[in-house]
Structure 1
Amino acid sequence: MKGITLQRVKAWLTLPGLVFTVIIVSAVIVVGSSVVPSRATAPPIIPLPTVCQARLKSPEISWQVPEDVEGNLEQNNLNVVQRAADIFAWQEFIALNWPAKSGVRGVPDQAVGINTPGQRVWETWKETSEVYLPDGRQPLPWNATAPLPPGLVNGKPLKLLYRQSKVDEVLSDEFQPTKADLALPGTLTDQKGRIVRYEIRMNQIAFDYVVQNKLYDANHQAKLDTFNFPNGAILIKAAWREVNPQEEKRFHTVSAYVSDRSDLTQATYQEKRMGLVGFHIMHKTASAPQWIWSTYEQVENVRGENPSFFNPHCPDCLANHQTQAHVPNQVIRLTPIPNQDPDCNQPTQAKDNVVELNKTIQAGLKNSVWQHYELINTQWPLPKAKTDSTPETVFQVNPALLANTTMETYIQKTSSCMGCHAIARSVNPNQYAASDFTFTLAYAQPQPAQTQMIPPPAKPISAWDTEHWNSILRGYQLTTQTYELLPKNVPVAKLHCQSCHLNGGGNPKASAWLGMMSKYEYPQTTNLQKRINQCFAHSLNGHPFPITPNQPEFTAFISYMQWLDEQAQVLEIPRPKTPFPPIPQLTGNAQRGQAIFQQKCSFCHNTSGQGRYQSDTYYRPALWGQQSFNKLAGLARVPTLAEFIHGNMPYQFDGNLTPQEAWDLATFIDNQERPSGTANSEK
């Protein structure tokens, strides 16, 4: 039989402790000069019971990566679909963690078993730092070895770990929300004070698409408006922590150079033994143009005798809160691994007992380090995904939430892999283009400049600026830190002026403060002061200022507005004709809006729209409740809020939502409870 060798047969037959069914086929193997009969084996199989009377193909201990979920997500009973997706997830986890063939990237060594030590297939893939180079030049060919960074010129060919967050350091936290507290770093620290490190890798199908379309060059990428990775593209995110020799038998471990900073030109390195603690797979298939998402963890991350990230002897430790680097995080799982059998009489339930499935697979991997890893869950698009050329970003998913304790540690209650990645955009900051569910395209260099909004004040550029500079800076500070600096005027709400007037009033799509002097006839009248007071009374649910000559807050706000007009003229940014880009008049649906909010908004604005203010620090604003705007605010009107949402949300990903989604969200948000407000806008 072609492809069968005596070495391969022996490798399969000597795999220790594997539970499998052997299928015997006739073959001959030439040994020396003689021909002898032989028996070749199929990959070992881990038998599974039927689910809702459906018999699915059992997973194999095999190096072969599955192309798609069995049944292509089309089974009528969604409980069967969920089990098929979970089997797919385990099958690709096993295949991608197969030992790699030496000297070539991404090729499994078919002559050995999964227990054989060495690099795994996915570890030979391109790290995104090898693809998106600092000057935007073309990356080296697939099989080329990346040069070592400065400081490791004579180093060994080891894994290089430098990320302290699953988000690439070239991006701001705004681009992929992974934390909930602006005052503290988004690092994860184990119970021994060691920071977790991350890496992001892509397979050759994804790499070839990036190279063939020159997406590594930000200047070229910014000219494109459509991105569609081919089926079979896979991206991996992995989390690692330092391990000691006694722990190694329960972790997949590697020797790695660990960097002390993300800037590799300035970094120093230490060689350490690192153990795999978290693993994400996103895999694009024909049945799921929104990709299939699965996530895995080492079984002792948050439970067991010595959990990596949980101290069972500290009942007063705040769970899932960010800490300073090297201060241990207390982590608990908030999105449980499903542990109940499906009710087959409820075909839309989409439930699988993942805990029992894990036990069966782990038994099949007995005596292998991989028995110490578990599937958390698998997320897939629901209903059946469209297979046209443009992936939809408006869809339903199952399960609604999915979180890994090592990667979505601080946003577990609102984490949806597909929902978050649906907002991913290309590198172009001036025009939204969906990047096919991957944030990695935004790593391309050199980063284009934002040209359509006014940046914060940095230095005076005119004599007028110099004369009024202190007042300009004070106005900017009041705009961006309103409730903190003016507690008497904003005693309850936790909002800033720039919560609505984004980017400090310098964003033309978010009610920019441009042309305020002429619009409100300043200084001939006090109309501008009255308008500012309206914002404080309604949008900030607070108290207005007395309208008196030289009132200091008015002076600061108005000086800053005058500076914005000057900057708009210098940057040739025209005054917008409307506060927000207009959209068609539609009818919103609050129920649809609630589903959209959970999928695309809650990871920023929290589960109940209460915003994120951990460490008593503003991070994302409240959308309803006592800390939000009141019923007399402009955004309390559904048409106004719909225009604001469509033009500006999700923040920095404006353009992701359709007009109908914006109307649905506005209807849902403005139907929530909020303060009644007052009709008085001035004293």
Structure 2
Amino acid sequence: MKPFVLVSVVGLLMALPIQAATIAMEDQSQLVPRPAGQQAALFQPPSEKDLPDNAYGKLVRQGYALFVDTRRLAPQFVGNGLNCSNCHLDQGRLANSAPLWAAYPMYPAYRKKNDKVNTYAERLQGCFQFSMNGGTPPAADSPEITALSVYSYWLASKAPLGVEQPGRGYPDVAQPAQGYSIARGAQVYGDQCAVCHGAQGQGQKVGDHYAMPPLWGKDSYNWGAGMHRINTAAAFIKHNMPLGKGASLSDQQAWDVAAYINSHERPQDPRLIEGSVEKTRVKFHANDGVNLYGQTVEGVLIGQGIR
């Protein structure tokens, strides 16, 4: 039996302060399918054409709109320049880019990050708090969390419950024998990344909104986000970057450029303990993958935060 979502759908549709009707969901059913061997290996989420024209379908569309246009539609919960779709590509559909269809069926689940069993709503709250640098996240029963949950449920509605799917998360990329080099990463960044994300990691704007997300600085993810881990960023980069050319970088290049990106300042970890980077490092970062928080690089303490 599939999990179900207990919501008052009509009430949520009235309360949700987002304009889903202004953002058309991209229906990709016309695209050429994957080769037969790959098609069988990866779960295929439903298409928009399969959505019913009722309250449930409208709420799915609202969740989609919020997912791809988070900063504009939920500005009170987003403290930087990012949208959910910056880390979960292709509307949360793309395998090896933490697709929603592979995440939703695996919750509730224990997370070492907060040492508790998390509901899916709590997992979404964490994204707002850390990746979106949003301060206090939406309540678990808020219209925003509900819409995103329903969108995720719809994408996963035909996936098996509690079964690890190929393409979930960002598949690990083992640390190369040479480790990582920030200097080499700077070269990779200049050659492969700066054209989209800017020479200073500032991203690219169209008007007031980012067309390409910033990778460091005040409008990027904060020091508590999973992407601050070099190993996590390397996995995302290896499988998905440069955009449209995933898997074109070597493992070494992915690790090097991830280290370069995460050697730059960004907003402070909201869990900062007594104003101390060192206390925060010991409690939250010392055993959290490979990261530079609280370390000194070229004479500069990393993790002081930026506003």
Q: How high is the TM-score relative to the length of structure 2?
A: 0.66
After superposition, give the CA deviation of every residue in 1:315-368 in whole Å (9 maximum; x if it has no partner).
xxxxxxxxxxxxxxxxxxxxxxxxxxxxxxxxxxxxxxxxxxxxxxxxxxxxxx
Q: Hey, what does 1:514 align to over in structure 2?
A: 101
Counterpart Cα distance in 2 of 1:598 and 1:638: 18
Q: Hey, what does 2:50 align to over in structure 1?
A: 460
Q: Hey, what does 1:496 align to over in structure 2?
A: 83
After superposition, give the CA deviation of every residue in 1:472-506 in whole Å (9 maximum; x if it has no partner).
00111111001111111113x11011111111211
Q: Hey, what does 2:73 align to over in structure 1?
A: 485
* CA distance 1:482–1:662, shift in 2 (3 Å): same
Question: What secondary structure sits across from 2:239 in the alignment?
Answer: helix
Q: Hey, what does 2:132 align to over in structure 1?
A: 540
Which of 145, 149, 167 matches 1:558?
A: 149
The answer on 1:652 being equivalent to 2:241 is no
Checking the alignment, whether the CA contact within 8 Å between 2:45 and 2:101 is kept in structure 1 is no
After superposition, give the CA deviation of every residue in 1:557-592 in whole Å (9 maximum; x if it has no partner).
1110111112657xxxx8237511222222110111
Counterpart Cα distance in 2 of 1:455 and 1:605: 29
Counterpart Cα distance in 2 of 1:624 and 1:650: 17
Which of 60, 68, 88 matches 1:472?
A: 60
- The share of aligned pairs that are identical, in percent, is 32
Question: What secondary structure sits across from 2:75 in the alignment?
Answer: coil
Residue type matched to 2:57 in 1?
W
Checking the alignment, whether the CA contact within 8 Å between 1:605 and 1:621 is kept in structure 2 is yes
Counterpart Cα distance in 2 of 1:454 and 1:613: 32
Q: Hey, what does 1:640 align to over in structure 2?
A: 232
Structure 1 residue 672 displacement after superposition: 0.7
Question: What secondary structure sits across from 2:210 in the alignment?
Answer: coil
Checking the alignment, whether the CA contact within 8 Å between 1:537 and 1:677 is kept in structure 2 is no
Which of 599, 604, 616 matches 2:196?
A: 604
Checking the alignment, whether the CA contact within 8 Å between 1:632 and 1:677 is kept in structure 2 is yes
Q: Hey, what does 1:579 align to over in structure 2?
A: 169
Q: Which has the larger radius of gyration?
A: 1
After superposition, give the CA deviation of every residue in 1:220-274 in whole Å (9 maximum; x if it has no partner).
xxxxxxxxxxxxxxxxxxxxxxxxxxxxxxxxxxxxxxxxxxxxxxxxxxxxxxx
Checking the alignment, whether the CA contact within 8 Å between 2:203 and 2:214 is kept in structure 1 is yes
User: Structure 2: which 5+ residue stretches go unaligned?
Assistant: 1-29, 110-116, 273-307
- Aligned residues, how many? 226
* CA distance 1:635–1:544, shift in 2 (3 Å): same
Counterpart Cα distance in 1 of 2:95 and 2:61: 20
After superposition, give the CA deviation of every residue in 1:121-149 in whole Å (9 maximum; x if it has no partner).
xxxxxxxxxxxxxxxxxxxxxxxxxxxxx
Structure 1 residue 677 displacement after superposition: 2.5
Residue type matched to 2:209 in 1?
T
Counterpart Cα distance in 2 of 1:478 and 1:447: 24
* CA distance 1:506–1:584, shift in 2 (3 Å): same
* CA distance 1:498–1:453, shift in 2 (3 Å): farther
After superposition, give the CA deviation of every residue in 1:203-227 in whole Å (9 maximum; x if it has no partner).
xxxxxxxxxxxxxxxxxxxxxxxxx
Counterpart Cα distance in 2 of 1:617 and 1:563: 28
Counterpart Cα distance in 1 of 2:46 and 2:90: 8
* CA distance 1:515–1:580, shift in 2 (3 Å): closer
Which of 181, 185, 201 matches 1:593?
A: 185
Question: What secondary structure sits across from 1:619 in the alignment?
Answer: strand
Counterpart Cα distance in 1 of 2:156 and 2:121: 17
Q: How high is the TM-score relative to the length of structure 1?
A: 0.31
The one of the two structures with greater contact order (alpha-carbon pairs below 8 A, sep at least 6) is: 2
* CA distance 1:585–1:679, shift in 2 (3 Å): same
Q: How does 1:49-448 map to 2 (within 5 A)?
A: 448=32
Structure 1 residue 643 displacement after superposition: 0.7
Counterpart Cα distance in 2 of 1:627 and 1:647: 24
Counterpart Cα distance in 2 of 1:486 and 1:533: 13
Structure 1 residue 530 displacement after superposition: 1.4
